[in-house]
Structures are given as C-alpha cells and as structure tokens.
C-alpha cells in the first residue's frame, strides 16, 4: 500500500465501520474503540448522514484512543460549508497528528432535500466543494488538511477521487465493483472496501440477520443505481435482494469463509477491507463480532 497520498498515515489492512455505535452512549462508544485498538484493528470509520455530527464524534474517538486511525466515512458536504469542513479536518489533524482521515461525500437526495439543498449535480457540487476547501482560510496553528477520501461509486466520482484526493471508499458493493474502482483509480490512491459481515452457520441464518442491512441500502437510489450500472438485473434488487446479491455483497459464515471474502476484496485491489458488522441485535454494540473476527486482522497491519 502506498502511504504517499495518506500523508504517511498507516490505516492498517482491516478497518471497522461504526454504524451500530450511532445510538450508543458515548461511554460505550469509547469502550468499543479502545477494544478495537487493543485487538489490533487499523481504522474506525464512522458515518454522519442526517442525525450525527462528524467532527465532534471524531474528537471523541481520537481522545479515547492512542494509536487507532479515525476516519469519517462519510462527512456530508451538505452539512457544512467547505471552510467549516476544511477547518474541522485541520483541527483534528493538528490535535492528533497522523491519525485522522477526512472521508467526505455527497450523501443521498432525500437527506440532502431534508437539509434544504438541491441534489441535482452531485459531481459538480463535489468538484466545486473541493476547490473551496483548498481555498479556505485558516486561523489556527500551522496544519495541513488531513488526507481526504471520497465516498465514490460511479466512474466520474471515482475519477475525481483519483484526480483530487487521497482515494475512495465505495460502500455497499461487490468484489467486481472494487476491481472496477481500482482500475479507474490506478495503483497509487488509497482504496477502502466496505464488507458487511454476518456471523452465522448457514445462509438461512445469515439472511435472517443480514436482510435488514440489504433492505435498507437497496432503498437508496445511489446504491441501487450503481448495482444496476454494473450489471445486476432489477429482479435481484427487489428487497431484501436475491441470494446471489447477498452472496456478492455480504461475507457470512465462519472465519475461513469470511476470510476468503476478505482475500477476494484484496485481490480485487482494496488496500483496506472495512468490516461492516451486522449483528442480530442492532441495539447492542457488536463487541462479540469484533472479538470473533480478530484473527483476520493478524499479519495485516
């Protein structure tokens, strides 16, 4: 993995997406990230959407740990202007050098409309936003922007990530799509690949847990349209998705079976695989899954 575009930050080969932490008290979130660090995971990725705030959460995670890399995945460009985004990122990067990656994205049309904005030109909006971030004034101590990673699915946004940022973080996708993204990025940019993980003994049990995850994201036009673009027929995308789609997106089973999915993501060009932990009890932090998957992190720092 080239660390040039990441300003020398080493995110490790295995990360975790913190979606299940969103509804937890801060004390439990701190416990989770400390356990991640103790177990040897490389990066915690966390979302923002409409109901969270990216930089406050990032500061909580950074303050709770000593080495773990923290990455917004993603901070929503419609939640703040470009100067606020740039300077929030600089603040965390200056306070915790070498530990923060600023993942940003255009979000989704319904959420953008709820914020009072027009989603009509997401690619142009992101390009203009990056220009404005570069030009943002900064009144704090000397600090560079942290490495920026784009939430990118389609060829144009991936191309923008290659041209203007440290890399891309495609979400809710397949190994074949990761291979396509790497082909567009070229060899140097960083590529983090989302991988939903369900610990279950058989497909029926895995779907009983994982169908909630698929159904939610198949309701998003961005993810659905990307799957259509890369060749999935409409019939496979009817909620909660076909068995074939489930197999293509989700890693399920024992450690050997999940490890093979991880290997495939790396073989397709990922620099980091991000475990999106899907558990039967979505009200609890997925500490059990985190601990059981720890052997897959060994030798991958």
**Averaged pLDDT for residues 189-199:** 98
Could you give the CA distance from residue 300 to residue 1 in angstroms, rounded to a whole number?
11
pLDDT of residue 52: 81
Q: Is residue 190 part of a domain?
A: yes
The answer to whether residues 94 and 67 touch, using CB atoms and an 8 Å cutoff, is: no
Beta-carbon contacts of residue 247 (< 8 Å; ≥ 6 apart): none
Q: Is residue 7 part of a domain?
A: no
Report how many helices (DSSP H) and strands (DSSP E) the chain contains, helices first. 12, 9
The answer to whether residues 59 and 53 touch, using CB atoms and an 8 Å cutoff, is: no
pLDDT-based confidence at residue 57 (cuts at 50, 70, 90)? very high
Q: Is residue 146 part of a domain?
A: yes
Q: Is residue 235 part of a domain?
A: no
Q: Residue 122 belongs to a domain with what CATH number?
A: 3.20.20.30
pLDDT higher than threshold 60 for residue 114 = no
pLDDT-based confidence at residue 135 (cuts at 50, 70, 90)? very high
Distances (CA, A) of 267 to 94, 264, 270: 35, 5, 7
Residue linked to tokens 């993980």: 197
pLDDT of residue 119: 63
The two tokens of residue 113 are 């409309």
The two tokens of residue 75 are 């901070």
Q: Is residue 205 part of a domain?
A: no
Residue linked to tokens 């009200």: 283
Q: Is residue 231 part of a domain?
A: no
pLDDT-based confidence at residue 112 (cuts at 50, 70, 90)? low
- Per-residue pLDDT of 99-110, as tens digits, reads 999 999 986 555
The two tokens of residue 262 are 């991880």
Provide the domain limits for residue 161. 14-197+254-297
pLDDT higher than threshold 80 for residue 87 = yes
Q: Is residue 220 part of a domain?
A: no
What is residue 23's DSSP assignment?
A: T
pLDDT of residue 191: 98
pLDDT higher than threshold 60 for residue 274 = yes
**Averaged pLDDT for residues 204-215:** 97
The count of structural domains within the chain is 1
**Averaged pLDDT for residues 69-74:** 96
pLDDT of residue 299: 61
- Per-residue pLDDT of 9-52, as tens digits, reads 999 999 999 888 888 999 999 999 999 999 999 999 999 876 68
pTM of the full structure: 0.94
Least confident span in 50-59, 164-173, 284-293:
50-59
Could you give the CA distance from residue 140 to residue 39 in angstroms, rounded to a whole number?
35
Distances (CA, A) of 74 to 97, 102, 142, 244, 299: 20, 8, 25, 28, 27
Q: Is residue 262 part of a domain?
A: yes
pLDDT of residue 128: 97
The answer to whether residues 47 and 19 touch, using CB atoms and an 8 Å cutoff, is: yes
pLDDT of residue 18: 86
pLDDT of residue 2: 61
pLDDT-based confidence at residue 3 (cuts at 50, 70, 90)? confident
Cis check: omega of the bond before 240, within 30 degrees of 0: yes
pLDDT of residue 20: 81
- Per-residue pLDDT of 164-182, as tens digits, reads 999 999 999 999 999 999 9
pLDDT of residue 23: 85
**Averaged pLDDT for residues 150-170:** 97
């Amino acid at each position: 993995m080239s660390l040039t575009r990441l300003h020398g930050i080493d995110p490790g080969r295995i990360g975790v997406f913190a979606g299940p932490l969103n509804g937890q008290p801060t004390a439990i979130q701190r416990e989770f990230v400390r356990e991640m660090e103790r177990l040897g995971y490389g990066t915690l990725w966390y979302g923002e959407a409409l109901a969270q705030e990216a930089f406050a959460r990032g500061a909580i995670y950074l303050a709770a740990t000593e080495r773990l890399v923290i990455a917004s995945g993603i901070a929503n460009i419609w939640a703040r202007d470009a100067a606020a985004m740039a300077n929030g990122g600089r603040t965390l990067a200056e306070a915790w050098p070498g530990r923060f990656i600023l993942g940003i994205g255009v979000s989704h049309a319904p959420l953008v409309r709820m914020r009072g904005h027009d989603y009509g030109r997401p690619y142009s909006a992101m390009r203009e936003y990056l220009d404005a971030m570069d030009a943002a004034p900064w009144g704090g101590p000397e600090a560079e922007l942290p490495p920026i990673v784009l939430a990118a699915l389609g060829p144009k946004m991936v191309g923008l990530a290659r041209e203007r940022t440290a890399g891309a973080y495609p979400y809710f996708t397949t190994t074949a799509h990761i291979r396509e993204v790497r082909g567009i990025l070229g060899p140097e940019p960083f590529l983090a690949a989302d991988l939903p993980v369900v610990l279950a003994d058989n497909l029926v049990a895995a779907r009983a847990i994982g169908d909630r995850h698929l159904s939610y994201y198949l309701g998003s036009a961005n993810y659905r349209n990307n799957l259509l673009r890369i060749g999935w027929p409409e019939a496979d995308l009817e909620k909660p998705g076909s068995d074939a789609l489930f197999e293509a997106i989700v890693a399920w089973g024992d450690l050997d079976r999940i490890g093979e999915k991880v290997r495939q993501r790396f073989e397709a060009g990922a620099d980091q695989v991000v475990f999106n932990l899907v558990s039967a009890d979505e009200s609890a932090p997925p500490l059990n899954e985190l601990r059981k998957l720890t052997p897959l992190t060994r030798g991958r720092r």
